[in-house]
Amino acid sequence: MAKVLRLHGVGDLRLHDEPLPAPGPDDVLVRVTAAGICGSDLHWLAEAGIGSERLRRPLVLGHEFAGVIDSGERRGQRVAVDPAIPCGACELCQAGHPNLCTALHFAGQGIDDGALREYLAWPSRCLHPLPDAVSDADGAMLEPLGVAIHAVDLGHLHGGMSVAVLGCGPVGLLILQLARAMGAARLIATDILPHRLEAARLLAKAEVVQADGGREAGEIVAATGGRGVDVAFEAAGDNDAVEAAVASLRPGGCLVLVGIPADDRTAFSASAARRKGLTIRLSRRMKHTYPRAIRLVEDGAAEVRSLVTHRFPLAEFERAFDVARRREGLKVIVEP
C-alpha cells in the first residue's frame, strides 16, 4: 500500500492508503521524491476545476515532479517526469506541437492522476535522467522552467530588447532569468508582493515596479523613456496585469499571455492593442523543453534551487497548501 492525496471537492483534500499502481506495457513504476504545488493546483483546490475542466472524480493533483524509477531496466535511476503524454500521431503532434495535442493526457488534470502520492506508473519515454548536480527538488522545478522556456520562445527574444514580466511567481522569475541570459537590455518586473519583487531584483537584476491595479504601466513606460517595452509577459493570471502589459508595450510589440485567470476570462483594451498593432500569443504549457531545461540548470544558466522556499512531507499536505495559497514564499515542494 502507498499514500495517495486526492481532491474530492472544493477545499476537500484527503490522504488515502491505496495499492501500488500497476505499470502498463510502456510504463514503469516511479517513486515520487519531490512534487511542486503550482498555481493551477490551487485553482483545482479552490474551484474543483480549472478553466472549462471540472472535477469528475477524486483526483490526485501535482504535475511538477521528480522521482526514482522503481521497476524495469532503469530501476534506481533518478528522473524528472514530463507530466504530458501526447498521442504522437495526430496532426498537431506530427507538426511538432505536442502541447496542443487534442488527445493529450496530463498529470493531475481531468481523469489523469498526478504526483501528490508516493508511487505512480508513467511512460518510460516521459522520464528524463537527472545529472548528479541536479537535486530531486531541482528536477521538480524543471516543469515550471519548461513553461518559462516555451513562453520565451513565443516572445522571440533577442539581445538588446526591453522586456517586462508582470507577475513574479516561479514562472515569472524564470522568464526573467531566461530573458537576462538571452541578452535583454532592460528587464522590468511587477508584482503585488514585495518578497517576489526582491527575488526578481536578486535573481535577474530586474528593475521592479509595485503592481497597482494596472496603473504600473505608466512607470514601465516611463522607465523606457516613453517608448514602451518590446515584449511583455503576463504571468499573473490577472486582467489588471493584462491591461498593464498592453499599455506598457511599444507599437509593434509582442504580448505573451502565460497566466491562468481565475474566471477563465482575459480582457484588455482592444483599441489600445489594435492601434499599436500588437502581436498577442497565448502560451500552452511547454514542448520539447526538458533536455534544454536540464542543461540550463546543470550549467547554472537558470537558478531554480533558491526558488524552493518551503518543503513538507506528504502527511503535512494541509500546511503545504496553506503556505502556497497565502503565497508566503515562492515554490512549495512536497516530498512524499
Can you tell me the distance from the alpha carbon of 101 to that of 54, in angstroms, rounded to the nearest whole number? 19
Residues 30 and 64 in one domain: yes
Residue 290 lies in a domain: no
| Per-residue pLDDT reduced to its tens digit, 236-251 | 999 999 999 999 999 9
The Cα 170–Cα 174 span in angstroms is: 6
Beta bridge partners of residue 254, listed in sequence order: 231, 279
Same domain, 136 and 64: yes
Pairing of strands 84-85, 105-106: antiparallel
Q: How many residues does the chain have?
A: 336
**Contact, 143 vs 97, CB < 8 A?**
no
Beta pairing partners, 231: 163, 254
Q: Is the pLDDT of residue 258 over 90?
A: yes
pLDDT band for position 52 (cuts 50, 70, 90): confident
Residue range of the domain that includes 122:
2-141+304-335
CATH number at 30 reads 3.90.180.10
- The answer for residues whose C-beta is within 8 angstroms of residue 212's C-beta and 6 or more apart is none
Is there a domain that residue 331 lies in?
A: yes
Q: 7 and 69 in one domain?
A: yes
**Statement to judge: residues 75 and 163 lie in one domain:** no
Q: Is residue 298 part of a domain?
A: no
Domain assignment present for residue 294? The answer is no
- Phi and psi of 27, rounded to 5°? -105, 165
Let me know if 284 is exposed, middle or buried by CB neighbors in 10 A (0-12, 13-18, 19+): middle
Task: Provide the grid cell at 78.
Answer: 533518478
Q: Does the pLDDT value for residue 263 go beyond 90?
A: no
User: What is the C-alpha separation between 127 and 16, in angstroms, rounded?
Assistant: 26
264: confidence class by pLDDT, cuts 50, 70, 90: confident
* 80-125 per-position pLDDT tens digit: 999 999 999 999 999 999 999 999 999 999 999 999 999 999 999 9
Total domains in the chain come to 2
> Would strands 207-210 and 127-129 be described as parallel, antiparallel, or unpaired?
unpaired
DSSP 67-120: EEE-SSTTTT-EEEE--EE--S-SHHHHTT-GGG-TT-EETTBTTB--SSBSEE
Amino acid code (one letter) for 70: D
pTM of the model as a whole: 0.96
Report the SS3 class of residue 147: helix
Residue tagged 516511479 (cell numbers): 30
**HEC string for 206-231:** CEEEECCCCCCHHHHHHHCCCCCEEE
For CA atoms 32, 34, 38, 44, give the dihedral sign: positive
**How large a percentage of the chain has pLDDT more than 70?**
100
